[in-house]
Homo-oligomer: A and B are copies of this chain.
C-alpha cells in the first residue's frame, strides 16, 4: 500500500535484516535519510544509494522530522536512546521538539512506557510500532505495523508507513502495539513448538516426519507457518529466517508481561524453556524452528 509522499527528513537507526530494506524503500520513495548502525559497514549500500551516515545515534536524530529505530532487543535500544555515560551520544538527546519517534523493535511494554515518558519531556511524539512480515515483507514494502500511541500522530506518519507496509493497525495507547506483537509471536513459537513435539514423537515411534506433514496438510492442523517450517524441520535445515535467539527473547518479554499482570501462561512457559535449552546448546545462529534439536540424539 504505497502512498505518494512529500520528501521528509528521516533518521533510521538499526540496519539489520529488517532495517536495511526498510531504509532502502524510504530512499526509493524520495526521502532524505540519515542512518546509523553499530557496525557502520552495513550502511555502504544505503550510502551509495544516497543516505547520509551519522557518527552517533544522536546525530541520526538531530535533523530528523521522523526518527525510526529497528534494533534487536531492549538493551540495544536503551543504548541507542540514552547513549553511553558521559558521551552524550544518545538519540533522545538529539531529537527536536515537535519531531515524531517510531520504534519498530520488539521490546517490552514497560520499556515503551519509559520511552514515552522521556519523549513527552522533550515534546517528542512517540509510537510503538513493531512489525511482522519478515525480511521478505521488508524488501517488498509488505510489512504489517502494530501501533500503539496517539491517533493523530499515526495520521501524520501514515505516508511514511505506506512506503514500508501494506497494512497497519492502530491498537490503542503506547504499549498496545508491543502487547499484540508479543502475543502473536507467542502463538508462532507454540505452533512451531507443537510441530516439533509432534514430529519428535512420530519419528521416535519409527515413522517418518514427512508422513505427519502430509496428513497434517489435509487437515485442520494445517497452518501458514507450519506449511513453511515443517519441511525444513524434517530436513534439519535451520538457516535463520527468524533467529531462535530473537524468538527466545520475545518469549521472555511475553512472559515478563504476563507475570507482571499475573496471567499464567503454562504452555508458553514450557515452550520457552525448550527454546532456551536449544539456545544453550547451539554453537551457531539458527532459525527458531531449530527448537527440534531438543530431541536430537
Taking CB atoms, residues of chain B closer than 8 Å to A224 are: 220-223
Whether B186 pairs with A257 at a CB distance below 8 angstroms is no
> Could you tell me which residues of chain A, from 233 to 259, have a CB within 8 Å of some CB in chain B?
248, 252, 254-259
Shortest distance from the beta carbon of A141 to any chain B beta carbon, whole Å:
15
Closest 4 CB pairs of A and B: A262-B280, A223-B223, A190-B194, A270-B270
Contact A264–B248 (Cβ < 8 Å) = no
Q: Which residue among A109, A172, A256 has the maximum number of chain B CB atoms within 10 Å of its CB? A: A172
User: How many interface residues does A have (CB within 8 Å)?
Assistant: 81
User: Which residues does A use to contact B, with CB under 8 Å?
Assistant: 109, 132-134, 144, 146, 167, 169, 171-172, 175-176, 179-180, 182-184, 186-191, 193-195, 197-202, 204-207, 211-212, 214-216, 218-226, 228, 248, 252, 254-259, 261-274, 276-277, 279-281, 294-295, 297
Question: A256 with B252: in contact, given A201-B183, A223-B191, A261-B204 (CB under 8 Å)?
Answer: yes
This chain: how many copies in the complex?
A: 4
- Least Cβ distance of A17 to chain B in Å? 16
What are 9 A-B residue pairs whose CB atoms fall within 8 Å in the complex?
A132-B215, A132-B221, A172-B206, A186-B198, A190-B191, A223-B223, A252-B259, A258-B276, A264-B273
Q: Interface residues of A: mostly helix, strand, loop or mixed?
A: helix
Residues of B within 8 A of A216 (CB): 184, 187
CA distance A169 to B213 in the complex (A): 12
Q: Are B204 and A180 in contact (CB under 8 A)?
A: no
Determine if A197 and B276 form an interchain contact, defined as CB atoms under 8 angstroms apart: no
